[in-house]
Amino acid sequence: MEIMRADIRSELLARRQKLEKFSTTHHEASHLAHLPDEVEDALKRIDSGSYGPCEICHDPIEKDRLAADPLLRYCLDHLTRRQRDALQQDLELASRVQMALLSQRSPSFHGWDVAYSHLPLGPVSGDYCNLVMQGEHPRDLHFLLGDVAGKGLF
Ligand SMILES: [Zn+2]
């Protein structure tokens, strides 16, 4: 947990630096004006040891979500209806994008029928597989398989 806090702290410091640089060149970005305060607040919570738990139920916020967005203050159980709907839409979109990235399911190759099955555990998974043939008359067929450790999207 301490290593994670150190990582998040350095991520927050990097974000603070980027925000300071951005605000000096993009004065029109008023919708981002709250971010420096949120970053400062998260840094204070890390330094005081109160960073990590959900502010409503005090259970730990999911580590993977915090790694993706260190400004989170609530666990998945305590998202607002709007945040939950937005997350659901993002997952559905990510699922459609992932499925579209997979290659043709059953290509034939020099008389061989090739097939694979991709069944993500959730709506989106980190797993990826691909069949690669190059050119109009390919000589080789490559089967690629990646990230099968089951970590999923977060
Ligand atoms: Zn909670």
Distance 58 CA to ligand 1 centre (A): 6
Domain boundaries, the chain: 2-78, 103-146
Cβ neighbours of residue 54 under 8 Å, at least 6 residues apart?
A: 60, 61, 73, 74, 75, 77, 78
CB neighbour class for 51 (10 Å; exposed up to 12, middle 13-18, buried from 19): buried
Distance 59 CA to ligand 1 centre (A): 6
Residue-wise pLDDT for 56-87, tens only, equals: 999 999 988 888 889 999 999 999 899 889 98
Q: Which amino acid is at 97?
A: V
At 42 the pLDDT is 93
2-78 CATH pick, 1.20.120.80, 1.20.120.910, 3.30.470.20, 2.30.29.30? 1.20.120.910
Q: Could you give the CA distance from residue 145 to residue 131 in angstroms, rounded to a whole number?
A: 9
Checking if the pLDDT of 8 tops 80, the result is yes
At 39 the pLDDT is 92
Burial pattern 15-41, b for ≥16 Cβ within 10 A else e, equals bbeebeeeeeeeeeeeeeeebeeebee
Residue-wise pLDDT for 100-135, tens only, equals: 887 766 778 888 888 888 777 777 776 778 888 888
Confidence of residue 154 (pLDDT cuts 50, 70, 90): very low
Distance 109 CA to ligand 1 centre (A): 52
Confidence of residue 40 (pLDDT cuts 50, 70, 90): very high
Cβ atoms 62, 76 nearer than 8 A? yes
Q: Which of 29-33, 40-44, 81-85 has the lowest mean pLDDT?
A: 29-33
Cβ neighbours of residue 132 under 8 Å, at least 6 residues apart?
A: 103, 141, 142, 143, 144
Nearest to 118 by CA among 134, 106, 132: 106
Distance 51 CA to ligand 1 centre (A): 13
> Which of residues 53 and 20 earns the better pLDDT score?
53
Q: Is the dihedral of CA 16, 19, 23, 29 positive or negative?
A: negative
Distance 115 CA to ligand 1 centre (A): 43
Q: What are phi and psi of 97, to 5 degrees?
A: -65, -45
Instruction: Provide the percentage of residues in the chain whose pLDDT is more than 90.
Output: 25
Distance 49 CA to ligand 1 centre (A): 18
